[in-house]
Structure 1
């Protein structure tokens, strides 16, 4: 039995998922941990990782190591995405992680991140045609799926933390700031040459900000946290998302953190996080969203299993 450990270091959070893989490729998830580290906090125009976010991240990674170090027959896949990808002090950070923790943190490209999202979604949801959208803290990945294949993919340097911090959307929101943020995001989205090919197709949403929509909705259904429905595969009309976005914009940071289903740590970045999906729904006239709870971490698992199968064939 192999303990396959996936560490996914994003711009807002770092997650670890542990799956036990059997001799025939069967697997089951046996562990999951998540820490909000906000690594991209205050990166600014100079695009450097700051001291306190780095320290928060190191503490989280040490906690993860304490967990998987107790396991036998461990294989680790550790990846970093947009924040580290964009950081000018990337080398310093990676060397420190390697020196202090022994973790080989691999910085993946935006295209690779998008493809892993694709693997995670199409292996867990019946998606044949549609647009996959992953909104993170510092980037948004878009994948156009046609006949089950990854037809086109792109990563855009815009996400919940960057939009919220760069355009003053963290607390009480001014109309002028919201307009500037939405205009900047729309310019990036509309510049994607193939995006209109996904007109009126299903939109499959993942990433912390997008999943928050589903988490808020399911709390409207029941207050019993032990009986919450799984958000994976949940369908939600676009009008519900527009209404939620309008509500969030009208509240200040404290008001947003009081909404059931919205993690308090996201109160200052959720408005920026929902700008991309709101724009895509309008641009492509999509009337419904399907939520996925599987993305890059699952993609790494399926990639490993596929490569393992290929080796066995040889």
Structure 2
């Protein structure tokens, strides 16, 4: 069957079309809009502009699905709408105006789906999985292919950019303020005090963009998905406000992360703090995550 999945994230709104035949899952196509929904949160309240933008995009996606008679559809939302003080009212309005039921998944569910999706095809029995989103960061520690600890932290790339950064690229002072909040938030998370893991599996847009920027900056092949954690600080330093941007580095930034130029460094600061805290030497980007995890868990029951 054809299965449509809409993920209303804090930074992007995505629709993916999957072909599901028995236990075989194939993503046929995906469409996305970079909305920056978390930026529409003012004093914790989702503004009408954010609701209207979401309705506009979902209406477009629904029209596409109807054109191809795709009736198996699920829409879910994560941190930006989940954490809004007016979450119930905002989601209700979007549902009424689009005719699409929307599931608000909890931070715990998001971490679980991340784990199922990212580890489905891996042979590793244990590890550390991190998803840095626009408004939240999910961390999962697993052993024997079972979750040992998981948490959803209220920090994200777009939320940090909106809160701390005045221009497109952050200053060194703004970077330090983001580091301090990331460290304090992580320190308050229970169950991770003794976690040390040499390798991180990173999923989501922050790690995808970071990997593209890493490959360009350090002259790796375009299909490389592994980063040395120690080099994150050099990427951050090269793209701070005080560092003079050459034509070469400007082209690099625009070519690799055109839609994430403003959020990639705040996201990398979170990654840097996590890698340091967990004594990690490497980060490997995985292209599967919460959407695939939802299919395996909720559609296929695996």
Closer/same/farther in 2, CA of residues 235 and 196 from structure 1, 3 Å limit: farther
**In 2, Cα distance between the equivalents of 1:37 and 1:219?**
26
Q: How many residues align?
A: 299
**In 1, Cα distance between the equivalents of 2:118 and 2:230?**
24
Q: For residues 32-47 of structure 1, what are the structure 2 equivalents within 5 Å?
A: 32-44=30-42, 46-47=43-44
Residues 173 and 252 in structure 1, CA contact (< 8 A), matched pair in contact too = no
**1:201 matched residue in structure 2:** 198
**In 1, Cα distance between the equivalents of 2:52 and 2:268?**
28
Structure 1 residues 41-81: Cα deviation after superposition (integer angstroms, max 9, x where no partner): 1413x211123332222222122112211233521121100
**In 2, Cα distance between the equivalents of 1:163 and 1:254?**
22
**In 2, Cα distance between the equivalents of 1:169 and 1:100?**
34
Residues 196 and 284 in structure 1, CA contact (< 8 A), matched pair in contact too = no
RMSD of aligned Cα (Å): 2.5
Say which SS state the counterpart of residue 284 (structure 2) adopts.
strand
Structure 1 residues 144-173: Cα deviation after superposition (integer angstroms, max 9, x where no partner): 011111111110111011111212254353
**1:72 matched residue in structure 2:** 69
**1:144 matched residue in structure 2:** 141
**1:160 matched residue in structure 2:** 157
Closer/same/farther in 2, CA of residues 254 and 297 from structure 1, 3 Å limit: farther
**In 2, Cα distance between the equivalents of 1:138 and 1:195?**
21
**In 2, Cα distance between the equivalents of 1:263 and 1:53?**
23
Structure 2 residue runs of 5 or longer lacking an equivalent are none
**2:230 matched residue in structure 1:** 239
**Alpha-carbon distance, 1:272 to partner:** 1.4
**Alpha-carbon distance, 1:126 to partner:** 2.9
Closer/same/farther in 2, CA of residues 207 and 26 from structure 1, 3 Å limit: closer
**Alpha-carbon distance, 1:266 to partner:** 1.6
**In 2, Cα distance between the equivalents of 1:253 and 1:78?**
43
**In 1, Cα distance between the equivalents of 2:282 and 2:259?**
27
Closer/same/farther in 2, CA of residues 4 and 68 from structure 1, 3 Å limit: same
1:276 corresponds to 2:270: yes
**1:113 matched residue in structure 2:** 110
Using structure 1 for the length normalisation, give the TM-score.
0.86
**1:122 matched residue in structure 2:** 119
Closer/same/farther in 2, CA of residues 170 and 196 from structure 1, 3 Å limit: farther
Closer/same/farther in 2, CA of residues 198 and 3 from structure 1, 3 Å limit: same
Closer/same/farther in 2, CA of residues 92 and 174 from structure 1, 3 Å limit: same
Structure 1 residues 172-231: Cα deviation after superposition (integer angstroms, max 9, x where no partner): 5333332222111101112223224431332111121121111223446889xxx952x6
**In 2, Cα distance between the equivalents of 1:74 and 1:283?**
45
